[in-house]
Structure formats: structure tokens, C-alpha cells
Amino acid sequence: MPTFFLSRLLSALFVLFGVTCLVFLLLHLVPGDPVEVMLGESAQPADREALRQALGLDRPLLVQFLDYFERLLRGDLGVSLHSQRPIVDLILERFPATLELALAALVVAVVIAFPLGVLAAVRKDTPWDYSAMSVSLFGVSMPNFWLGPVLILIFSVWLGWLPVSGRDEPTSIILPAITLGTALAAVLSRMVRAALLEVLGEDFVRTARAKGLSERRVIWRHALRNALLPVVTILGLQLGVLLGGAVITEIVFSWPGLGQLTIEAIQTRDYPVVQACVLLISVGYVLVNTLTDLVYAWLDPRVRLGEGG
């Protein structure tokens, strides 16, 4: 187990270092000058040069990267070029909204996926099965940037039941959570169906039925509990996807989270803020994946034994 843990930890660190390098290079090589964005096109060349020197943008790219990486190791994310505020403060303001949206979307996905998956497995090769999997396929096929405006049009504009955008009202979370959780629900429902079908053929399920237990108790109390391992694994891996997918959803619904902060920073060429946001999302994704691998290895010794072999 220690060897397995060390290998996963080293892999996570390597991925994070690669993401840091890639984001830094891509942001500094794309067209656009943050100094011109901040001062405007009518600014004098001397003013531009003075601001560029003050921000350290006149130094070689390698020097800027080494300085950024050194500060990153100290836990210093830097200062925003646009607002001149510490990036940590900006992230602390926006992160709760993103976390709230991700957790709400996760709840929506679980509430939709488990009944659909169980229904499809219990009624295999029936119209119920085909209908449930069609709904799942429809959920996978709908991109967030299309589903979000459709939900706004129906439930906000036509029916007037829910707010169009923002985070001012308690019900503002409903439409963004449904938009973000639908795709995950589609993936989870298929996994629940596949895992449950495999378990339903086991001896302990037949034994439970032979004892006279009701079909509902056999499914929900015995079969589903033993089918949860692969489902929980997929669920853990998808948590990082929720954080990344929240970018589009937050823009559609003007949700004041990390996704919207990232887009605003990209538009103003605020390199440190973009780097910090992408790095934070990447860290969350990598950590969730690593923890999922460790939990899976702890629950199933064959995983770590195969790793050692």
C-alpha cells in the first residue's frame, strides 16, 4: 500500500507541474497585451513601458516563470494585474459559489441517475429499459451552453417560476444545478444499470429471494449496496469534471464563481488570476482522482496488488 500511495502521489505532483507549465506558457504566448487592456489604446508609449516594468512583464519569459513557480511553492498566488488585489482574496470570494453549484449538481445527478439506472436494470430489455437509456443518451448529448438557455427560456421567461441569472435568491441555484448535473446523471445511470445487472446474477441475490424477501428490499438493500463500488468510483472521478464544467454554466447563468472569474481574467489578460483559477481547478481534479484511486485500492486489494506486479 505505501508503494501504491507513493506512486499515485508522484503522478499527481507530475500532473500538477505539467498543468502549471502549460497554462503559464499558453497564457503568455496568446495574442494580447494586459498593459494595453489596462491603459487603453490611447496611452502613451512611455506610460505603457513604465507599467510593463512595474508589473514585471518586461523580463524574459523564463525569469517570469521561475519567479512565479518560486512564489507558488511559498503559497503566494500573486496580485491581480487588473484590480491590484491579492488573488487569494478573489478566489476566496468566488470559490464558495462554485462549490455550492458543484454540490447541488451532484445531488441532482444522484437523484436522477439512481432511479433511472435501477429501473433500467430491473426491467432489462423492456420499454422501461429503452426509455431510461434514451433519457440517459439525451442527457449526454445536450451541451451546457444549449441546455442552460433552453431552461431559462422555459422556466424563467415563459413560466416565470425561477430567476434568470445571478445568485441573489435561494431558487437561483435550481437551473444551474440541473444544467450541470444532467450530463453526470446520464453517465451515472448507465453505470448503475451495468453494475446492478452484474450483481443481480450473484448467488446472494438468489438466496435473498429464496428467503422470501420483497423484490424492493432485494434490489435496494442487497443488490444495490454491492453494486456501489464502481458507481462511487465514477462519482469521485466526475467531481473534478463538475468543477471544470461549471465554467460554461456559470457564464450562462451569471453565477459568480470561479468560472466567471476565469473568463473575466482571460478577457482582461490578467495572467496571474487565470493561472491561479486553472491551477485550483486542476488541483481539485487531481486530488479527487488520487483519493478515488486510494479508496478503490483500499476497498479492492487486487488494484494495489496489480500495481505492485
Residues 259 and 249: their CA atoms lie apart, in Å, by 8
Mean per-residue pLDDT for 195-219?
77
176 has pLDDT over 70: yes
Average pLDDT, the chain: 80
**pLDDT for residue 178:** 92
Q: With respect to CATH, is domain 90-267 assigned 2.102.10.10?
A: no
Q: pLDDT of 19-61, one tens digit each?
A: 888 877 877 776 666 666 666 667 777 777 776 776 677 788 7
Question: Torsion-angle region of residue 204: left (phi > 0), alpha (psi -120 to 50) or beta?
Answer: alpha
Q: Where in the chain is the domain with CATH 1.10.3720.10?
A: 90-267
DSSP string, 59-82: S-HHHHHHHHHHHHHTT---B-TT
Nine-digit cell string for 251: 457564464
Q: pLDDT of 55-78, one tens digit each?
A: 677 788 788 888 888 888 887 888
Nine-digit cell string for 217: 428490499
308 has pLDDT over 70: no
**pLDDT for residue 153:** 92
Residues 18 and 188: their CA atoms lie apart, in Å, by 30
Cβ-in-10-Å burial (0-12, 13-18, 19+) of 63 comes to exposed
Q: pLDDT of 100-156, one tens digit each?
A: 888 899 899 889 888 888 888 888 888 888 888 888 888 878 888 888 899 999 999
In angstroms and rounded to an integer, the radius of gyration of the C-alpha atoms of the chain is 24
Picking from 217, 216, 222, 232, the residue whose alpha carbon sits closest to that of residue 200 is 222
Q: pLDDT of 242-256, one tens digit each?
A: 766 577 888 889 888
Nine-digit cell string for 7: 506512486
Label residue 95 by pLDDT band (50, 70, 90). confident
Residues 145 and 104: their CA atoms lie apart, in Å, by 18
Question: Is the pTM value of this prediction over 0.85?
Answer: no
